[in-house]
Each structure stands twice: as structure tokens, then as C-alpha cells.
């Protein structure tokens, strides 16, 4: 009788141990992503280049994308605090407490937008020390530019042209596609001939994960799937669909765009 009970206990334990990993894996049916809403990138309706990349990575694994739109700083806090699984659009080593994947998925061409009257004096990033520089609060451009800059940080981009026009800002730093959007949506009140833009730096973009067991599993899937998307051409098709000229990978792109190199 004792031997039978022991055998039954072993059988139950074995069944539990066998079932446990499957149950843990099946719990990863969503990835909770916090992000800003960026035009053609992370649109609120679920369209955009970054959403396409995330779907290509996770949906074949049976994982749906759960989207929450918040300012960038809140997205970072939410992930590091474990309320979300990942945020979109981080530079390398931006936050020490996040889990960074091996693979990036994009790169920022950061540009300076300024009044055309300052164009003759522009010789490159060192000019950013000659006046007040602004960017969106939570971005960490100063961590990647070894320059002594006078900074004014804004919560959004609504007052950029006003502050440039009033000379409360001399330079506005932002990703190239954000400056594209600023110029396209400026309206008749802004004379675009009064403004110029110049490149400042290029930074690879990552999707950092929460420092949790979920975050580690989702990061492992990301680092397995991104090389597969490069090999099977899916990543190149996403870039072509959204007309991204930059191609921040060593793997050949293989579509109709040559692809701009990333330094």
C-alpha cells in the first residue's frame, strides 16, 4: 500500500512538472507595449512600420500586441516597473534597468531644425553649443552628444515653430521622420522657407523589455525572430511598404531601395 501511494505521488509530481512549462508558455498570449503615437510608425489605429515589425515577430508565435499610448517617459517607467512588457524606440543602453535585446529593428537619423538665418554659421553638431536647444522631454540626446548645451525640454511638438520664431529656441532636435511630419503639418501660418534642417547623428533603435520573467521570454523570441525576418525578406518588405530609405542591418535588403547606411 505504501509503495502504491509512493508510485501515485511520483506520477502526480511528474504530471505537474511536465505540465508546468506548457502552462507558463501558454500565458504569453499577449505582449503589452507602451509607446507614443508616432505618424506612420505607431499609429493609434494599429498601422505603422513599428507595429508591422512587432506583428511579424510575435503573431506567428500566437502572441497578440496589446497597445497603450502614453508619453515616452511614462512608457519607460511602465516597462521598467513591470506594468508593461516593452516600449518602442529606445537608443542603446538608454535605461540600465531594462532588458535590451541583441537585435535592433530601426535607426534614428536625428536632425536639427532651425531658422534659415542660422544656416551660414552651421558647420555641424558643435554649433548646438551656440544657443538654446530643445527636444521632447524624456529623450536623451545629451547622453549621445558630448556637448555642453543649454536645454529647453518640451512635453510635445505643438510649440516648436512658435519657440523657434520667437528665438526662445535656436535648434530643435528630433528624428528625421518627426521633422518631416512637423514640416508637412505646419500649415499656412509657418513659412517653411524660413527654416533649414541638418543631420546631427544616427542611433540604432531597440525595443527594451521589462526586467521580469515575461520580459526575458519575450526578448528571447524577439532575438530569434528578427534574424528570421531578415533571412526570409519580411523585414525588407515592411521597410519598402513604409518607404523607409534607411536600412540599418548588415544583411542585404534585396528590394528596390538601395538603403542608406548606418554609421
Q: Which range marks the domain in which residue 113 is found? A: 108-203
Helix axes 213-231, 49-58, angle to 10 degrees: 100
Q: Same domain for 58 and 45?
A: yes
* Residues 63, 191 within the same domain: no
- 120 with 99, same domain: the answer is no
Strand 132-136 with 86-87, pairing: unpaired
Residue 252 domain-assigned? Answer: no
What pLDDT is stored for residue 188 in this prediction?
Answer: 85
Give Cα 86 distance to the centre of its chain. 10
Half-sphere exposure (Cβ direction) of 261: Cα atoms closer than 13 Å: 1
Domain annotation covers residue 250: no
Q: Give the largest Cα separation in the chain, rounded.
A: 94
Same domain, 14 and 37: yes
Please tell me whether residues 139 and 81 are part of one structural domain.
Answer: no
pLDDT single digits (tens) 98-113: 999 999 999 999 999 9
Q: Is the pLDDT of residue 116 over 80?
A: yes
Answer yes or no: is 184 within a domain.
yes
Q: Give the closest residue to 155 by CA, choosing from 179, 181, 136.
A: 136
The count of structural domains within the chain is 2
Instruction: Give domain status of residue 33, yes or no.
Output: yes
Q: Is the pLDDT of residue 22 over 60?
A: no
Q: Is a pLDDT exceeding 80 seen at residue 183?
A: yes
| CATH number of the domain encompassing residue 178 | 3.40.190.10
pLDDT digits (tens, 9 = 90+) for 118-157: 999 999 999 999 999 999 988 889 999 999 999 999 999 9
The length of the chain in residues reads: 263
pTM for the predicted model, two decimal places: 0.75
Weakest mean pLDDT among 160-164, 171-175, 221-225, 258-262: 258-262
In this predicted model, what pLDDT tens digit does every residue of 47-87 receive, in sequence order?
999 999 999 999 999 999 999 999 999 999 999 999 999 99
For the chain, give the percent of residues with pLDDT over 90.
Answer: 77
pLDDT tens-digit readout, 160-174: 999 999 999 999 999
Amino acid at each position: 500500500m505504501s509503495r502504491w501511494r509512493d508510485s501515485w505521488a511520483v506520477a502526480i509530481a511528474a504530471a505537474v512538472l511536465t505540465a508546468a512549462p506548457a502552462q507558463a508558455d501558454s500565458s504569453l498570449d499577449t505582449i503589452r507595449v507602451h509607446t507614443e503615437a508616432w505618424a506612420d510608425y505607431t499609429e493609434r489605429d494599429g498601422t505603422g512600420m513599428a507595429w508591422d515589425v512587432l506583428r511579424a515577430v510575435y503573431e506567428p508565435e500566437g502572441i497578440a500586441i496589446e497597445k497603450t499610448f502614453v508619453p515616452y517617459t511614462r512608457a519607460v517607467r511602465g516597462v521598467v516597473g513591470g506594468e508593461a512588457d516593452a516600449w518602442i524606440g529606445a537608443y542603446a543602453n538608454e535605461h540600465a534597468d531594462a532588458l535590451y535585446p541583441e537585435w535592433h529593428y530601426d535607426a534614428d537619423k536625428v536632425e536639427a531644425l532651425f531658422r534659415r538665418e542660422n544656416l551660414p554659421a552651421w558647420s555641424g553638431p558643435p554649433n548646438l553649443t551656440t544657443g538654446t536647444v530643445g527636444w521632447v522631454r524624456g529623450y536623451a540626446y545629451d547622453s549621445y552628444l558630448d556637448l555642453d548645451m543649454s536645454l529647453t525640454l518640451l512635453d510635445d511638438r505643438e510649440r516648436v515653430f512658435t519657440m523657434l520664431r520667437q528665438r526662445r529656441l535656436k535648434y530643435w532636435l528630433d528624428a528625421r521622420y518627426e521633422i518631416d511630419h512637423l514640416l508637412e503639418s505646419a500649415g499656412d501660418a509657418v513659412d517653411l522657407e524660413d527654416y533649414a534642417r541638418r543631420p546631427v547623428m544616427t542611433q540604432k533603435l531597440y525595443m527594451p523589455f521589462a526586467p521580469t520573467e515575461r520580459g526575458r521570454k519575450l526578448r528571447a523570441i524577439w532575438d530569434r525572430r528578427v534574424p528570421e525576418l531578415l533571412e526570409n525578406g519580411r523585414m525588407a518588405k515592411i521597410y519598402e511598404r513604409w518607404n523607409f530609405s534607411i536600412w540599418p542591418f548588415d544583411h542585404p535588403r534585396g528590394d528596390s531601395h538601395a538603403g542608406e547606411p548606418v554609421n
